[in-house]
Every structure is written in structure tokens, then in C-alpha cells.
Amino acid sequence: MKTETTSNKEGGNAKIDELWLITGVCFVVCATFWLGTASQLQDFWPTIQNAFVVLAICYTVERVVVVSLPCLQRPHVTLHFGFGIVQNIIYVATFLASPSTFAEIWTSVYFGYYLWTWIVLVAHHQELFTIFRIFFTVHHTVSFFITGTWILVAAHCDCPYNLYLLRGIVLWLAADIWGYILNFTRSIYPGIPVRTIRRLQLMVFVMDRIQKSSAYIQAIAITHGNMNTLDWVVLGTGFFNDILDASFQVHSLYSYYRKEQNHPESEKTHDSDNNIESNATPNSSILAALGNDSQTTTTGKIPKPFVSSPPELKDLLLLPEFDKTTQWELLPKDFQRLTQERLKLVAQTGAFQISRGPGMGSGNTTEPEAFMRLLDAFHWAGLFDLSLFDVVGVHAIGGNVVFIHGDDSQLAENRTNIDQIEDVYCFGATELAHGSNLKQIQTIAEFDDKTNEVVLITPSSTACKYWIGNSTFVADYVVVLSRLVVKGEEQGIGWLRVPLWKNKDKTECFPGIHVRDTGAKAGCNGIGNGCITFDHVRLPRSALLSRFCQVDENGDFQSALSSSDLFLRSIQTFVLERIGVATAAIGCAKSAIHVALSYAAVRHQFGPDGDEVPLISYPMHQRRLISHAVRLFVGKATVDRIGRAAQESFHPYEFGADRKKLHAESCLVKAFASWESFAAAQEARELCGGHSFAATSQLGMA
């Protein structure tokens, strides 16, 4: 019944959005027709001037509000918005006071604006996704030269602006108000669903294009083409820039709607998307933000002052589908299913493309900062929910094994499915009796010469692959670390890629493979940990990841490496695992410190003069929290430095001195981050008292 109600509500919202879209289009079409056909436009000019004033006020308010928001994390963004306020004041105030003065200075102001934004793009290009970096670079470069052309033509041509064209210019500039209103709305309501945002973007696109078209109509139709050289240059170059903008916007909207058609389930509401069979029914407040008091609990809005993130991933984590309160109302199995559905949504952002890892393919040369964005994605997953990080992180480690140890044909076959998380992986290294000492693992991969197959064997109960994340019913494949035995001789250890399930429902394993759940856990119940055993499982020879060692058709083992070197290559994948765990642990601890600081700001106790003061006023309270915050910031900077070193110097097929140093540093930073994160979370629990037991605080999970 609840699902039906939610569906009806969603349908109603869709109809309202469509109604607003149709109404807005009709209004602008009528206004455009009026502007294009009125023979005495100057008679109505005071009314239009008032409209410009309203637009200017909206624009200025939006700029001021955005600049004042505390969540902005880049100083140049604040400067950029501040420059926009000054620019708007110059445009509108000058035009209303003296159109002739406006005609003299507006091109210079426009030129300076694009010069500034172009400098910002060059200095911070790595913060944009590739497609946006390309577009904004082209757009602002073209605009930069276009405005320069306007200035040169005006300087060498004794022909003042046509007044009607000048009014068209102001109308053209004011068309940006539609985008500003959308940004203003998104600033106030950051949890707007993606589908609604896309509809609003479509409406903004239509309004913007129609209003700019009306500017051209006013410039050409009303003046009957009676324009001078400068007028035609401005008109033509402006039209060219609009075509460039429109083509990108159409491409962006088309890409979204094509993705929506291919993955319609990604836009469902939480209740309809997760019709889970459980005695615990999801709370009707699932569409609300996390917590009852935004001042004392984490509110579903991820703590913003700490790190940057892939924008699409951050926006996704704010959607109702990722409401953190839900997990406390679900059984562990149901929570795992919910996390699996969240994994599907996360996969669509592309934030966790494992080929961005150090040394993994062309991503290193075309996207120098790609690996750092991958680490930021891990960091945000840790801020949001460790269960989600565990699911994505384990897949990343398993997929990274394929990228490092697979030969060229194996990489080509599996790269896309791993990057897009179409095939989910788990990591089968640890055994019940062996963990860190991987040289002594007991699982055997023996090659059968007669059938040209690999026989995977768990020789004893203590040799089972134990506590394997994602293995219960999420993962499609497991990468298994095993002892390689060829013609009765042990050749060292190597990795095999093993499919787990016979059917898509993941209810029946392949013959000889046995997967069982390890049982209930005290936390992180969104990921299923299992025990995997192999009872003489027969696999094709291609199951062996063959970058560093191969078994030919004659059953002969081939490798250019010694047994010890082969082991060193086998553990290279742990570099990504260690760095990823470190950044996620720091993210989780930052969330805990954020909660404790928020609580300390609103909880009052005894003051020196009898009046109450907030806990944060106590020096000891400050010392206990801020000291951890500082160490976490230093830890994040250290992780980023090691991540950059991995991106720049790591090569998966070499093991030199730099590689050994990176291996040691990744071990140390994982240990430091884990210890410090645990200490920070424990401090936060103690300083929040009994409130730390509240599920919505997430302190019990930190």
C-alpha cells in the first residue's frame, strides 16, 4: 500500500513538473512573439526596464547567497561568484543609468569576465570531469577571443551600437537568470532528486534558448536588418557561441535520457525500488534527511567542510535511496540487498572505475588526477557508510587483481564489466588459518594434463577462504590466491578468476563450490562475509591470470620470474587496498568528529558566571576533539601524497626501489589511519555521552 502511495506521489510530481514546463514555454513563446512584432517597442520600454531590475535582483541575491554558503570548498569559487555580482551590478546599473555608457564598457567587462574564468579553468582544470573540462575550455577560449574581436572592431570602426541591438544584448545577458534560479534552488534544497533536477535543467534550457532567440528577433526583425558592421559582428559571433553552448547542453541532456532509458530503475523512489521482504517495514520518513535534529546528528547531508568529491557521487549520496536511517529498520540480509541496490546506483556515476588505479591502462596518461578522484570516492564512501565502502572496496581490490595479473586478452575481456561494476568481484586471499603470511596459504590449484584444466582444491577445513566480503550473494566472481602445482611440482603462488554462481539469482553455486555466510556481525551488516571452499573444482586453463606466469597447452609451467619474485608480484594489488582503506577510515572518523563538534556546539553546561555555555567552550573539550581533527587532516594529506606517488611512479609490471618504498609507505599509512580513526571515533563516542548510542548518530558504526 505504501509503494502504491509513493508511486502516485511520484506520478503527481511528474505531472506538476510537466505542467510548469508547458506553462513556462507558452509564456516565453508569447513574450517572444510580442517582442518580435511590436512596432513601438520603445513605448513599453519602462516595463521592460522594470523586468530587467527584477532579474538583476534575483541574480544578485543568488550570487550573494551562494557566496555566503559555508559548504564551498574552493576559494576560487567564492571569487568567481563575487566577480559575477560585480559584473551584474555594472551591467544593469550602467544600462539603466546611461545606455551609451553601457555600450562603451560592457565589452571590456565581458572580456575581463572570460579572462578571469579562463585563468581559473587553467589553474583548476583537474577538478572537472573530462567532458566538462573540454567544453568549458573551448567555450571560454572562444568567448575570450570573440569579446576581444568586439573590442578591436569597435576601436577601428566608427559605428556606435544600434540601440535595439544594445537592448537585445541586455536581454541576451539576462537569459542566464534561468540557470541562476536553478542553481539558487539547488543551493537551498541540495537533496532534490536527480530526475527532478534533469527536468528543471530541460526547462531552463528551453527558457534560456527562447529568451536568447527573442534577443536576436529584436535585433533583426524590429530593426529590419538596419545594422552597422559592429552590430553584425556582435550578432554573428554571439550566435556562434550560442550554437556551441546549445550543442553541449543537448548532448548532456540526451546522454542523461539515454541512460535513464537503459537504467530506469535508478530513478525509482526508495520504497518502490526496495520492496524488501522483512518483518521490519521501512519508515515512512525515508524521504526525509537523516536524524531528528540537524544540529545534533548527521543529517543525511554528508559533512562538507572536509574534502572534495566527484560531484555526481556526492549528489547521489544525498538522495532518499541512500537514507542512512533505513539500515536500522532492516534485518542484516535485507540491508545487504539494499546495499546491493545502492551499488547499482553508485556504478552509474563512474566514480569507482578501477582502471583509474595506478598503472592501470590509458587513464594514467589522459587523466592525471583520475586515481586521486578514485581515492576521493573511497573517502566519501567512508564518510557515508562503511558497508557501502566495503562492498565497493572489495570489488575494487578483486578487480585490481585482474588488471594487474591478467594478460592483455584477459584485460580486454573484463575491463568494461569491472569498471562499470556489471560483474562484481570478491577477494579470496585470506584463509581461516592464514592471513598476513600469504606464502603459507593452503589452497591448491593443480593442473590436469589430461583435460587441460585447473583443479582448485581446499585441502582442509582451516584452508577455506574465510571472511570474504561480497561472497554470499553479491559477487559474481572471486579471485583466488592459491599454490600453483604443475606436474607434481609447486611453482609458487598465483591468482585465478573463478565464477561462483550457475544462475543469475545467485542461489546455486557451480559444482564443487560451497559458499556459506559467516554469521551475524556487530557492524557493517550491509556487506555479506562468507566462507568459500573448493572441492576439486574444475576450471579452464584460462582461469589462471597469466601476466606473470602461464601454463601452455602441453601442461608446462612458464614464467620469467623466480618463485620469490612471483610472490612479490602477487601482493602488488594490496597497495590500492591499503591506500583505499586508509582514506575511507579517515573519512569515517571525520564524520564522527563532525557529529561530536555539532553536539558540543548545542549542548550547554555550567559557565563561569552561573550562565550556561556550550561544551565547545571548555578548553579540554576543544583539545580532545580538535587534536583528532588536526591529525585526521594530516592523515588525509599523507594519504593523498602517497596516492599521488602511486599514480606517478607505480608500474604494475615492475618492482624497483620506488615500488618497494611505496609498498612500505602504504603499509604504514593504513596502520596509522586505522589506529587514529579508531581513537577519534572513540573520543567522539565518549564526548557525546548517551547520545552516541543513537542509531542516527552513526557513532556506533564509526
pLDDT of residue 363: 37
Q: How do residues 517-544 score in pLDDT, each as one tens digit?
A: 998 887 788 899 999 999 999 999 999 9
Strand partners, 477: 425, 499
Q: Output the pLDDT for position 16.
A: 43
CATH (domain of 667)? 1.20.140.10
Please count the residues of the chain.
702
pLDDT at 278: 31
**In terms of Cα–Cα distance, which of 258, 255, 254, 284 is closest to 269?**
284
- Residue 251 and residue 122 in one domain: yes
Are the CB atoms for 384 and 376 separated by under 8 Å? no
* Cβ-contact 493, 481 below 8 angstroms: yes
Q: Residue 115 — very low, low, confident or very high, per pLDDT cuts 50/70/90?
A: low
> CA–CA separation, 428 vs 482, rounded Å?
9
Confidence (pTM): 0.57
| Average pLDDT, integer, range 441-447 | 95
Between the alpha carbon of residue 565 and those of residues 389, 434, 615, 655, the distances in Å are 31, 20, 56, 9
428 beta partners:
480
- Which tens digit of pLDDT belongs to each residue from 355-394? 755 545 333 434 557 778 888 889 888 888 888 889 999 9
526 lies in a domain? yes
> Do 408 and 463 fall within a single domain?
no
Q: What is the mean pLDDT of the chain?
A: 72
Nearest to 176 by CA among 84, 94, 93, 248: 84
Using CA atoms, how far apart are residues 203 and 185, in angstroms rounded to an integer?
A: 14
Pair (499, 631) in one structural domain: no
Residue 267 lies in a domain: no
- Of the ranges 97-101, 129-133, 246-250, 335-339, the best mean pLDDT one: 335-339
Mean pLDDT of 2-9: 38
Whether 219 and 93 map to the same domain: the answer is yes
Which is more confident, 322 or 73?
Answer: 322
Given a cut of 70, is residue 150 above it in pLDDT?
A: no
Alpha-carbon distance of 556 to 549, in angstroms, equals 11
Confidence of residue 237 (pLDDT cuts 50, 70, 90): low
Among the candidates 513, 535, 567, a domain finishes at 567
Is a pLDDT exceeding 50 seen at residue 580? yes
CA dist list (Å): 665 to 246, 354, 575, 661, 697: 48, 21, 9, 6, 33
Do 32 and 181 sit in the same domain of this protein? Answer: yes
41: confidence class by pLDDT, cuts 50, 70, 90: very low
The count of structural domains within the chain is 4
Dist CA 300 CA 696 (whole Å): 9
Mean pLDDT calculated for residue range 108-130: 59
Residue 8's CB: how many other CB atoms inside 10 A? 10
> pLDDT value at position 570?
80
Q: Which cell numbers hold the place of 702?
A: 564509526
Give how far Cα 125 sits from Cα of 118, 308, 310, Å: 10, 14, 14
What's the maximum distance between 2 C-alpha atoms anywhere in the chain? 99
- Is 399 in the same domain as 535? no
| Edge-to-edge strand list for the sheet holding 513-517 | 465-469, 529-534, 513-517
Q: Tell me, yes or no, whether 549 and 601 share the same domain.
A: no
Q: 537: domain CATH number?
A: 2.40.110.10
Q: Mean pLDDT, to the nearest integer, of 224-235? A: 64
Give the pLDDT confidence score for residue 446 in this predicted structure. Answer: 96
pLDDT of residue 257: 59
What are the tens digits of pLDDT across the range 387-413? 888 999 999 999 989 988 999 899 889
Q: Give residue 419's pLDDT.
A: 87
pLDDT band at 334 (very low <50, low <70, confident <90, very high): confident
Question: Based on the domain organization, do 333 and 251 belong to the same domain?
Answer: no
| Measured distance CA(478)–CA(499) in Å, rounded | 6
Q: Are 181 and 58 in contact (CB under 8 A)?
A: yes
Residue 352, domain member (yes or no): yes
What is the CA 581 to chain-centroid distance, rounded? 17
Q: Is the pLDDT of residue 119 over 80?
A: no
Please say if the pLDDT value at position 52 is more than 80: no
568: confidence class by pLDDT, cuts 50, 70, 90: confident
Residue 222 contacts residue 36 (beta carbons within 8 Å): yes
For residue 348, the tally of other CB atoms under 10 A from its CB is 17
- For the stretch 501-513, pLDDT in tens is 998 888 899 999 9
As a whole number, mean pLDDT of residues 197-226 equals: 66
HSE (side-chain half, CA atoms, 13 Å) at 625: 24
Q: For residues 331 and 319, what is the distance between their CA atoms, to the nearest angstrom?
A: 22
* Domain carrying residue 460: 425-567
In a domain, 268, yes or no: no
Query: Within this chain, do residues 77 and 199 fall inside the same structural domain, yes or no?
Result: yes
Note whether 131 and 203 are same-domain residues. Answer: yes
In DSSP terms, which residues pair with 493 in a beta bridge?
A: 483
Asked, for residue 228, whether it belongs to a domain, the answer is yes
The answer to whether residue 387 sits within a structural domain is yes
The per-residue pLDDT for range 163-179, each reduced to its tens digit, is 556 666 666 665 665 66
**Are both 539 and 628 inside the same structural domain?**
no
Angle in degrees, CA 335, 336, 341, rounded to 5: 95
Q: Which three cell numbers stand for residue 664?
A: 612500505
More confident residue, 77 or 303: 77
| Top-confidence residue, 688 or 94 | 688
> Does residue 467 lie in a domain region?
yes
Q: Which of 419, 439, 454 is the C-terminal boundary of a domain?
A: 419
Residue 180 has a pLDDT of 57
CB neighbours of residue 562 within 10 Å: 10
Q: Is 110 inside any structural domain?
A: yes
> 451 or 228: whose pLDDT is higher?
451
User: Greater confidence, 85 or 36?
Assistant: 85
Asked whether residue 480 falls in the same domain as residue 584, the answer is: no
Give the number of other CB atoms < 10 A from CB of residue 171: 22
Q: What is the identity of the amino acid at 156?
A: H
Q: Is the pLDDT of residue 31 over 60?
A: no
- Among 182-191, 204-213, 279-288, 302-311, where is mean pLDDT lowest? 279-288
Q: How confident is residue 3, by pLDDT bands cut at 50, 70 and 90?
A: very low
Q: Which residue, 567, 597, 621, sits at the end of a domain? A: 567
**Is the pLDDT score of 351 beyond 80?**
yes
